[in-house]
A and B are shown apart, each in its own frame.
Chain A
């Protein structure tokens, strides 16, 4: 939802970034305010996933220019774990399997690291168990998933639901969902989208990165951005997604070219 005069959560200005010396982001600008849901769409290789990893602080991505302010603070001053503790959450496109670490322990350690950061007392195993049971409903997960190793042997849909479960527990200020819809069947997509919608509040913001318009039938964005060549080419409302679906990306490119030519 668009809220009048709400706080700016994320402000990205002229961001450039490299992977292995190859420039991927080439001057990206974006502003996200509290309460808003933004969607970034774009073809493969446009830099969407790179952008999400840069925001979360993946070490393989090198920021070469521009700035990113998160609630007014320079995001790049923070280690990845500090970003997480202060409310930046990335739902991974490919969540990792961590054999030997139980999902429940993992969730508790993550939850407590955030509590500690906020100056709150850590929650013991007993109280945490109660809390996590409530959150399971958000993503309609069975309790048995908690005793299994993190994502090990989970189906694609189960992994994505587990990501949203983590999000439900950590209650982020900025949730970035990197192709959370890719590879999901329609039931899993509805569950995941339902979870995201439940968690969207006036004081937080969501950034959806997706390849398919289908997700936006279930999570309605306030803004849709089209990304190509490491930049945002154009921005519109939710109707832009429908237009992209029917006309593809080429017309956006052509309009951009025309604009560049005219100026």
Chain B
């Protein structure tokens, strides 16, 4: 037996760096963050003459500068390792190749044929968008055209949690935004499709899609927010959506992430709910090699109702992470969360569900359930329900289950003449369907169901 004693040069350098406060690895992360920020800042602002938007960008850039790029030593990033992202050399985008209506045909929804905003690599694409036959009082379009409307300024980049690193990065490089403003009492029954396309190719780019939704008192909106890729290749997208649901208003939101399998997706949905506001989110996450979704609900009035349904369906070596926060502050809130993960091959799903019930939030009724289906012995799930309850007269439940396809269930189906492969497909589909069924648009539900049926 021989014992090697060596002092590698790297370690010495690390020790030296330690002396000035950063390890080599941390320094590498900070360098990467500096590059990210520079890339974001170099994004042209597509909003002419709007100094207030530029001011938001500058403030956010300062917020980014003060922060550390996360590592798995940070509690919030313990299970989601961004090391692979650090290997991706992101570049400023060249002139984006023209995306045709034909190219995006697979993603068009007949139910939203004339209520669609399309953004390509963060730029608004009017030739791909269609907004006809919508109520005249509904403000819909891109920030570039609507920024002069004084009603937007109090909301943009004002949602709680704006200082979070990737949220601030998005704001620091905000080029444009999809904007929806439903004035008081306006009920829009047509679902509105927000389609964000990244064109992937040999150059790995950074895209920063942005959405602002405001539902004034007693208005109602149905939104389908979708992230897709044209082409193949890696990129980083850090979308941010801010949704404001006022008194007794209602927003039904479906968020579909189906980025290319080489992509990195770190996104944010921040929602505030005033008195009696109702908000539903169906978050479906299928794509990207690494995806993370911060879903944050901020209750600002009494008796709100919140439904969070989520499905993460991943395989190969995909990582799919949902970090949700429900911050209650007022009495009589009702929240229902059901997060399901179907994990195949060597994929890794992460769920962290925070629910805050402070003293003032009496009579809260909060339910949280995370159910996971592992399809392979190497599949992995990390689940962490995190309830902080101070109020003493509340009903809060949580649960997490991890299971595999049950041999007895497969056998039961086989004993009725259904072959083993079909039986497995049927069982996985059934597991996913509970969430997919919540999507209010039939064509989208069908196309996602077809994907869920192919996973085994």
| Among B420, B427, B430, B434, contact of A81 (Cβ-Cβ < 8 Å) | B420
Nearest opposing residue in chain A for B433, CB measure: A100
A96 to chain B, nearest CB (A): 4
The contact string, 1 if C-beta is below 8 Å from chain B, for chain A 57-86, is 111100000000000000000011101110
Determine whether the beta carbon of A100 is less than 8 Å from that of B431. Answer: yes
Nearest opposing residue in chain B for A116, CB measure: B417
Contacts of A101 in B (CB 8 A): 426-427, 430
Interface locus among B50-58, B88-96, B253-261, B403-411: B403-411
Determine whether the beta carbon of A96 is less than 8 Å from that of B412. Answer: yes
Q: Does A110 contact B (CB under 8 A)?
A: yes
Q: Does A166 contact B (CB under 8 A)?
A: yes
Determine whether the beta carbon of B412 is less than 8 Å from that of A81. Answer: no
Contacts of A117 in B (CB 8 A): 417
Instruction: Label chain B's interface by main secondary structure.
Output: helix
Determine whether the beta carbon of B416 is less than 8 Å from that of A170. Answer: yes
Contacts of A90 in B (CB 8 A): 415
A98 to B412, CA, bound (A): 10
Determine whether the beta carbon of B430 is less than 8 Å from that of A113. Answer: no
Determine whether the beta carbon of B407 is less than 8 Å from that of A60. Answer: yes
Determine whether the beta carbon of B412 is less than 8 Å from that of A113. Answer: no
Within 8 A of B (CB), among A104-152: 106, 109-110, 113-114, 117, 149
Provided the pairs A59-B407, A98-B430 are in contact, do residues A92 and B412 lie with their beta carbons within 8 angstroms? yes
B453 to chain A, nearest CB (A): 12
A116 to B263, CA, bound (A): 43
A79 to B415, CA, bound (A): 9
Determine whether the beta carbon of A110 is less than 8 Å from that of B411. Answer: no
Determine whether the beta carbon of B433 is less than 8 Å from that of A58. Answer: no
Determine whether the beta carbon of A100 is less than 8 Å from that of B434. Answer: yes
Contacts of B430 in A (CB 8 A): 98-101, 149
How many A-B contacts are there with CB distance less than 8 Å?
A: 72
Contacts of B431 in A (CB 8 A): 99-100
A96 to B418, CA, bound (A): 15
Number of interface residues of B (CB under 8 A): 23
Q: Does A95 contact B (CB under 8 A)?
A: yes
- Interface centre among B415, B418, B427, B429, by most chain A C-beta atoms within 10 angstroms, is B415
Determine whether the beta carbon of A79 is less than 8 Å from that of B419. Answer: yes
Determine whether the beta carbon of A96 is less than 8 Å from that of B409. Answer: yes
Determine whether the beta carbon of A109 is less than 8 Å from that of B411. Answer: no
A4 to B426, CA, bound (A): 44
Determine whether the beta carbon of A99 is less than 8 Å from that of B434. Answer: yes
Within 8 A of A (CB), among B361-415: 406-409, 411-415
Contacts of B406 in A (CB 8 A): 96
A186 to B131, CA, bound (A): 64
Determine whether the beta carbon of B414 is less than 8 Å from that of A57. Answer: yes
| Among B408, B420, B422, B432, contact of A96 (Cβ-Cβ < 8 Å) | B408
B317 to chain A, nearest CB (A): 27
Contacts of B411 in A (CB 8 A): 56-59, 80
| Among A81, A96, A170, contact of B419 (Cβ-Cβ < 8 Å) | A81
B: which residues have CB within 8 A of A?
406-409, 411-420, 422, 426-427, 429-434
What 4 A-B pairs are tightest by C-beta distance, nearest first?
A: A100-B430, A113-B417, A110-B416, A80-B414
What are 20 of the A-B contact pairs (CB < 8 Å)?
A: A56-B411, A60-B407, A80-B414, A81-B415, A81-B418, A81-B420, A83-B415, A84-B415, A85-B417, A95-B412, A96-B409, A98-B412, A98-B430, A99-B434, A100-B433, A100-B434, A106-B416, A109-B418, A110-B418, A113-B419
